[in-house]
Structure 1
């Protein structure tokens, strides 16, 4: 079992925080089998409030379960409950872990933020739902405070966490 943290970094303009629509947000990852190194070309989605039970030896299921096409190893990933965190104005420009994953036999190698983000403008400004960050930049206008707001240079990476 390997615990991996998904880190994000972005420059925020007139935004207090961005966060996922937890626990309903679908994280999209490209994955690599830890056994044989086979890397997927397609995106796999994981949602904390959804469990897969088919072919799983775990009676509680997993957030994601797959059998490697190359080596036939059974692999799973669970989003660790209570690890979803917001990215705030104080974090702007720095990497921060926003969710932790319990990976067994497979590790994420790429993340696509896609839609489903919640954005809260600064100074009790307007809230935006289902924001799509797949273009790495997002710009909008806060009608409440009459200012432009934006998320720029969105990046992500993964770090192994200590147990």
Structure 2
């Protein structure tokens, strides 16, 4: 059993508190990434999708958010999400180039790689204007904050999976 903490950062211009639409533990937010089989090293060809709302019963007892068989070697692996570790990316952390945790994944038989930013994000300007249901699949976001009379932008999105105990 290995736990992987999804860490994100970005360049935020006049913005703060980047996070999933319903908060860091939003049960309906979908996480997309690839998986590498721990047995044969084969990487999935398409992104895998997991979210807190979807659970699958495990043989014996317990549940996981994903059970998947490696198409190359046939080994089965699981991914379970552990809520409560995420926090929004603030302007202060972004300016320092620091990452913030978004979600913790308990992976058995797989290693997550290549997180894909998609839709369903929210952020607020430094003057308090909220921007919701943002799609980051294009790699950036740019708008104008009428209240603050300034441009706002998210760019240079980056994500890593850090091994944690």
Q: Gaps (5+ residues) in structure 1?
A: none
Q: Gaps (5+ residues) in structure 2?
A: none
Judge conservation of contact 1:136–1:155 (CA < 8 Å) in 2.
Answer: no
1:25 offset after TM fit, Å?
0.8
Hey, what does 2:33 align to over in structure 1?
A: 29
1:139 offset after TM fit, Å?
0.5
Provide the rounded CA distance (Å) in 2 between the counterparts of 1:158 and 1:7: 6
Aligned in 2, Cα 1:64/1:58: closer, same or farther, shift over 3 Å? farther
Judge conservation of contact 1:51–1:60 (CA < 8 Å) in 2.
Answer: no
Matches within 5 A, 1:5-154: 5-21=5-21, 22-53=26-57, 56-57=58-59, 59-92=61-94, 93-124=97-128, 126-154=129-157
Provide the rounded CA distance (Å) in 2 between the counterparts of 1:10 and 1:106: 27
Aligned residues between the structures: 159
If the length of structure 1 is used for normalisation, what is the TM-score? 0.90
> What whole-Å deviation, never above 9, does each CA across 1:35-76 have from its counterpart, x for those lacking one?
1111111011111122123xx315442111101112222111
Provide the rounded CA distance (Å) in 2 between the counterparts of 1:52 and 1:148: 44
> What whole-Å deviation, never above 9, does each CA across 1:114-153 have from its counterpart, x for those lacking one?
10111111122x2122111122221111222222111111
If the length of structure 2 is used for normalisation, what is the TM-score? 0.89
